[in-house]
Amino acid sequence: MEITKELISTIYSRAYQYCIAKHNEHIDYIKIDQDGIQGVSYVGNDREYFDINIDKLSQDLDILIKEREEREEKARIENEKIRAEQKRNEERIAKELRFKQFQKLKREFENESTNNKI
């Protein structure tokens, strides 16, 4: 098997396209060793690794994009549920606090009105 510059370029391009389709991540470089291909992406000071075997390089990218979008949509819906629950809890706590303040003020004014009657 002859390894050409075009073959390496094709593998890199396909691995890059795979990472975009599967993970919505760009890759900064590709590492090739005896175990396969690995895309590496820098996220801040951290590195994120994406294992890419030969079978993955030949997958239909449109299917990968659809699967990723479905995962992202599920995660978005779940996050919205969590945020809504947090908002309800915050509103409940704020309401309880306002009610306690109301009760305190009510007692204060009731005490003042009974003291003024004497």
Burial 19-36 (b: 16+ CB within 10 A, else e): bbbbbeeebeebeeeeee
- Rounded to two decimals, the pTM is 0.60
- 104 with 80, same domain: the answer is yes
Beta bridge partners of 29: 40
> Are 74 and 46 contained in the same domain?
no
Provide the token pair at 3: 């390894």
Residue 67 shares a structural domain with residue 115: yes
Range of the domain at 118: 62-118
Q: Which of 30, 59, 88 is the last residue of a domain?
A: 59
Most distant pair of Cα atoms in the chain: their distance? 107
Q: What is the pLDDT of residue 117?
A: 64
pLDDT digits (tens, 9 = 90+) for 60-72: 989 989 999 999 9
Number of domains in the chain: 2
Query: What pLDDT, in 10s, does the model give residues 43-53?
Result: 777 888 888 87
Domain match, 6 and 40 both: yes
